[in-house]
Amino acid sequence: MLKRAELSKSPPKANSANFLKIVDSALAATTAPSFKSLLFDRSRSLKELPAVETCVMTDRRRINGPPGGTRPPVFSSATVTTAERPQRQRQPNELRKIFLKTGLIPSASGSSYLEFEPSASLSAARASPKFITPPSSSLKLACTVHGPKPLPRSATFSPNLVLTTHVKYAPFAARKRKGHIRDASERDLGVHLETALRGVIVAERWPKSGLDITITILEAEDDRWWGDAPDSHDAAWGMMNVLAGCITAASAAISDARIDCLDLVAGGVAAVVADETPDGTAARLMLDTDPAEHQSILSACVVAYMPARDEITELWLKGDNSKAAVGTTDQNLSHEALIDGAVDAARGAHSVLAEAVRESAMRFAGLSSGTA
Amino acid sequence: MASTTAAAASQPAAPSLALPPSQFARLQPHAYLLAHLSPPASSQQPSIRANGRAPSQFRVTSANTGSLTHTNGSAVVRVGDTTAVCGVKAEILHTEDIASWSVSHSSSSPSNKRRKLTNPTEKPGEDREDGSKDDEDDDNSYIEDFSLLVPNLSLSTGCAPGFIPGAPPSALAQSLSHQILSLLHSSRLVRAEDLEIWYQRPNFGAEELERHNEGEQMDVDAGPEAEEANLEAREIKAFWVLYIDIMIISLAGNPFDAAWTAVLAALRDTKLPRAWWDVDNETVVCSDLVSEARKLSLRGLPVASSFGVFEADAAAGWRAVVIPDAEEERKLAESERKGIQRRWILADPDGYEEGLTQERVSLVVDKTSNGKVKLLKMEKNGGFAVDRKELKDLVDISARRWDDINQILQRC
């Protein structure tokens, strides 16, 4: 807030020479620390530029908004109070429908598009919109696979296929506008995805080659219901659903690119949620949770699972469910139960995945017979 | 040159050629397309592009709007295999965050006010006319000066093998973003008044002024005077800023048309919530009700159509672009007379054709309600083949394309 106020004092359209002059005067007055850092970075050589400076530099290649910055809209509380938290209409072990299609991007060697079925509240809101703020959102992402292709000359020798994963949110994917440069959570997703897939691909079949997997998230899952205040114990729960979707979509795209795999790996999410019911708070295990539908999520788990081999290539467990487990002495809320739940969810996703891959294979067979 | 003519000549003897067409297309792209466009007279085949389209035919286009939850407006447009997703997200720019606002506007408005105060007998009607004219002028300058429209196009989505994800925007992406920005500005598609958030000051001061006036001169019509004061009490407190982000999900030639159509469809879909200045909180507050939100009223429907020029002479692209050779032009004219076409203008080139064409033409046209075609942008580069006559034909083709796009956008 302070920074913005300071920035707004400078004329926005100053050219570089002018700008530096203003910065100098600002420095003399020693009122603007933000300017000081800017000037400091500029005088440095290109090699030792910190991350902040690269932001500034890449932003020059984009069209930037107003220099003073903009604020996301704030909605009046008069109408917000009438909005209600969306309710989960599914059974605890019922998954959302998944739409998965391969081969939508012809220039890539493999591609897939994945979409979760909108939850009941969202589809109701779509049908007869009352509020501008949607109650929840459903995952939509596109995945492309380029390769296997030769590694660049500069790369060192690798006896295996070198896997590169890249996950990026579209700027309009989340409730809050995302930047153009990958942030920490997006890098994190990329690393998780890479571990999930590395165990599946038979990498030694392609020495000295690389495989690029790129995922663009067009619409992400919410981390919590928008009406809830940000809580100290809430985490990026939506990210786990996104990761599960990424794993399933990437698996379909890799098979679409005809890369040898051990099995079709599918992603699944389960969570222990605590919702307030008329008779107190009850912790329950749910599959494929939409974070917007629950008051609080105690812990969640996402797995990348290969059903045919009964192996897990990636496991990510977040949160603390010890309290819930102790309170009820219920074995159904232990970590093992949570992981089993996630595996069940992955099994469900696998059936959709197998269907999509079959479709892709049919298309390939048709194509090859057509040209031969 | 020799090899291409040989290849073209060997095309009739296709059975002897052991390569399947797809491989031939990769090895000899130019000869492949040429053979399609100028089939030997004996084969009885029509001249058609390698992708099965007629030269002036566009790819199948489809559009879908409003499917992204977190946007104010969104659209997915597919032109053949090129897919563009556009999302519009609106944020608020307070005038107090605009550095030049206080300089340019508070300096002008007090003088205005002073003038009015010192000269209360001045006809208010005249003044308002002035004001409205100013608004019209401001219209563009607001959007441009405060960059209220922020389009960014991203190609690093894995849409084509050449673009590395995570890398800064490529030259193509940068140029496309700027083309879209300049077209948004020059076509004046979005009205500035749609983006303004006004604040009406409560009317205490005005009454006082009125009373004061009454004391001075009794018979001044109080109605317009009060209105005038009202007008003065209104001020712009904030602007909506539209972040227009375009993700090219799949790239197979002609990204500009797809991206622009997506922008157009998304802006048509965009709804802005009702917003007002909250005095107590000193901030802009919006209403969450859809019933109070309003759509943007866009100026017209500019539709982009791009063309590429394919030359039968494969070396044409290699030669340095100089003044067209009189000798060659004569030859071309001669072959034209003989009925041999040496040059094709291909509408909506796909990725394969884009690699084979040097000269590009891009037109943006709009049609008024009485069917008059307005030309909003014309860009041509890379050669001399398209002349006045050809451009006229292209404008006609673009006008027809306008009808198609209009129908497609009406439907979604």
Cα pseudo-dihedral B226, B228, B233, B238, rounded to 10: 140
Considering the domain boundaries, does residue A121 fall inside one? yes
Considering the domain boundaries, does residue B30 fall inside one? no
List the single residue in A61, A72, A174 with the smallest CB-CB distance to B174. A61
Q: What is the mean pLDDT of residues B84-103?
A: 88
Q: Which residue has the higher pLDDT, A277 or A35?
A: A277
Considering the domain boundaries, does residue B304 fall inside one? no
Find out whether A225 and A142 touch, Cβ atoms under 8 Å: no
Residue in chain B lying closest to A179 (CA)? B245
Q: Looking at residue A371, what is its pLDDT? A: 47
Chain B residue numbers touching A80 (CB-CB < 8 A): 288
Q: Looking at residue A48, what is its pLDDT? A: 33
List the single residue in A70, A105, A168 with the smallest CB-CB distance to B159. A105
State yes or no: pLDDT of B162 exceeds 70.
yes
Q: Looking at residue B385, what is its pLDDT? A: 81
CB contact under 8 A, A80 and B91: no
- pLDDT tens profile A261-274: 999 999 999 999 88
Taking CA atoms, B364 is separated from B12, B183, B372, in Å, by: 40, 9, 14
List the single residue in B70, B150, B351 with the smallest CB-CB distance to A173. B70
Q: Which residue has the higher pLDDT, A151 or A235?
A: A151
Specify the range with the lowest mean pLDDT, choosing from A41-55, B51-65, B323-337, B348-362. A41-55
What is the C-alpha R_g of chain B? Answer: 28
Considering the domain boundaries, does residue A287 fall inside one? yes
The predicted model scores a pTM of 0.81
Portion 137-166 of B in contact with A at CB < 8 A:
145-148, 150-152, 154, 156-161, 165-166
Q: Looking at residue A275, what is its pLDDT? A: 78
Q: Looking at residue A369, what is its pLDDT? A: 62
Contacts of A319 (CB under 8 A, 6+ apart): A235, A271, A272, A297, A298, A299, A300
- pLDDT tens profile A110-132: 999 999 998 888 888 888 888 88
Q: Looking at residue A323, what is its pLDDT? A: 63
State yes or no: pLDDT of B408 exceeds 80.
yes
Residue in chain A lying closest to B289 (CA)? A131
- pLDDT tens profile A273-325: 887 777 667 788 999 999 888 888 889 999 999 999 999 999 999 887 766 55
State yes or no: pLDDT of B119 exceeds 50.
no
Query: Which range marks the domain in which residue A359 is found?
Result: 98-127+134-371
Chain B residue numbers touching A212 (CB-CB < 8 A): 158, 165
Considering the domain boundaries, does residue B9 fall inside one? no
- Name residue B76's beta-bridge partners: B64, B85
Q: How sure is the predictor about B365, in pLDDT bands with cuts at 50, 70 and 90?
A: very high
- Highest averaged pLDDT of the listed ranges A41-45, A153-157, A265-269, A294-298: A265-269
Q: What are the b/e assignments for B167-188, b being 16+ CB within 10 Å?
A: ebbbebbbebbebbbebbeebb
Q: Looking at residue B73, what is its pLDDT? A: 94
State yes or no: pLDDT of B386 exceeds 60.
yes
Measured in angstroms, the CA of B290 and the nearest CA of chain A are apart by 5
Q: Looking at residue B114, what is its pLDDT? A: 39
- pLDDT tens profile B191-249: 998 999 999 887 765 455 545 554 444 444 445 555 555 556 788 899 999 999 999 99
CB contact under 8 A, A130 and B289: yes
Peptide bond into A148 cis (omega under 30): yes
List the single residue in A12, A143, A215 with the smallest CB-CB distance to B100. A12
Q: What is the mean pLDDT of residues B18-36?
A: 86
List the single residue in A66, A104, A137 with the smallest CB-CB distance to B70. A137
Percent of chain B with pLDDT over 90: 43
Q: How sure is the predictor about A158, in pLDDT bands with cuts at 50, 70 and 90?
A: very high
Considering the domain boundaries, does residue B114 fall inside one? yes
Tokens of B29: 């792209």
Mutation pick from A172, A212, A215, A223 vs chain B, by most beta carbons of B within 10 Å, is: A172
State yes or no: pLDDT of B84 exceeds 70.
yes
Q: How sure is the predictor about B387, in pLDDT bands with cuts at 50, 70 and 90?
A: confident
Q: Looking at residue A84, what is its pLDDT? A: 77
Contacts of B213 (CB under 8 A, 6+ apart): B120, B220, B222, B225
Considering the domain boundaries, does residue B16 fall inside one? no
Tokens of A41: 């970075």
State yes or no: pLDDT of B323 exceeds 70.
no
State yes or no: pLDDT of B127 exceeds 50.
no
CB contact under 8 A, B288 and A80: yes
Number of domains chain A is built from? 1
CA distance B122 to B115: 9
Tokens of A246: 């990424």
Q: How sure is the predictor about B142, in pLDDT bands with cuts at 50, 70 and 90?
A: confident
Considering the domain boundaries, does residue B239 fall inside one? yes
Q: How sure is the predictor about B279, in pLDDT bands with cuts at 50, 70 and 90?
A: confident
Query: Which range marks the domain in which residue B280 is found?
Result: 61-297
Find out whether A4 and B97 touch, Cβ atoms under 8 Å: yes
Considering the domain boundaries, does residue A309 fall inside one? yes
Q: What is the CATH number of the domain that holds B108?
A: 3.30.230
Considering the domain boundaries, does residue B165 fall inside one? yes
| DSSP 8-state assignment for residue A71 | B
Number of domains chain B is built from? 1
- pLDDT tens profile B292-322: 899 999 999 999 999 999 988 776 655 555 5
* Burial of B284 per CB tally in 10 Å (0-12, 13-18, 19+): buried
Considering the domain boundaries, does residue B147 fall inside one? yes
Mutation pick from A55, A76, A143, A145 vs chain B, by most beta carbons of B within 10 Å, is: A76
State yes or no: pLDDT of A201 exceeds 50.
yes
Q: What is the three-class DSSP state of B363?
A: strand
Alpha helices in A86-154 (DSSP H): 120-127
Taking CA atoms, A17 is separated from A14, A65, A113, B411, in Å, by: 8, 21, 48, 51
- pLDDT tens profile B40-65: 878 778 888 999 999 999 999 999 99
List the single residue in A12, A62, A145 with the smallest CB-CB distance to B152. A62
* Burial of A74 per CB tally in 10 Å (0-12, 13-18, 19+): middle
Chain B residue numbers touching A146 (CB-CB < 8 A): 158, 161
Q: What is the CATH number of the domain that holds A363?
A: 3.30.230.70
State yes or no: pLDDT of A1 exceeds 60.
no
Tokens of A216: 């663009």
Contacts of B68 (CB under 8 A, 6+ apart): A140, A172, A218, A219, B74, B85, B87
